[in-house]
Amino acid sequence: MLQIVPATPADTPEITALIHALADYERLAHECFATEAQVHATLFGARPAAEVVLARRDGTTAGFALFFPNYSTFLARPGLWLEDLFVRPEHRGHGIGRALLAWLAAEVVRRGGGRLEWAVLDWNESAIGFYESLGARGMTEWTTYRVTGEALTTLAASA
């Protein structure tokens, strides 16, 4: 049986392990510094930065989705940004990714939102095909930019 459930503070170790498994899968383990303490503080502290739902298959945590609110100025409606979706390899092919995305879509609708958005690595053809099979489309006319590390510190210092 498959269940999609909101994560609780007790799930912090499992969430952290899933984050590290995702980083390994995305070939980005060298960029993953998340600790249980940080995950707990940022997801369940005084000012949660994001939310997590867990996919449990037959009582075992099979995957997760981490998301947070965003806003469309053109629609003048809220939405959700899906930061990470991951299903453990041994649980793939059982509809878990689809169930997580369906739960998120229902949550967007429940919150009066206008869209669910996320990014995907361009080499991840299986994920791209999966997302497109659900009706998602790539936003090829948009390029994502990021400021981090020393560039972030330098920019912040100029304020």
Whether 131 is a known active-site residue: answer yes
Pairing of strands 77-87, 115-118: parallel
CB 88 within 8 A of CB 60: no
Torsion, Cα 97 98 102 103, to 10 degrees, reads: -30
Measured between its terminal Cα atoms, the distance across the chain in Å is 52
Residue tagged active-site, from 25, 71, 131, 145: 131
Query: Residue 78: which residues within 8 A CB-CB, separation 6 or more?
Result: 69, 70, 71, 72, 111, 112, 113, 114
Q: What are the catalytic residues?
A: 131
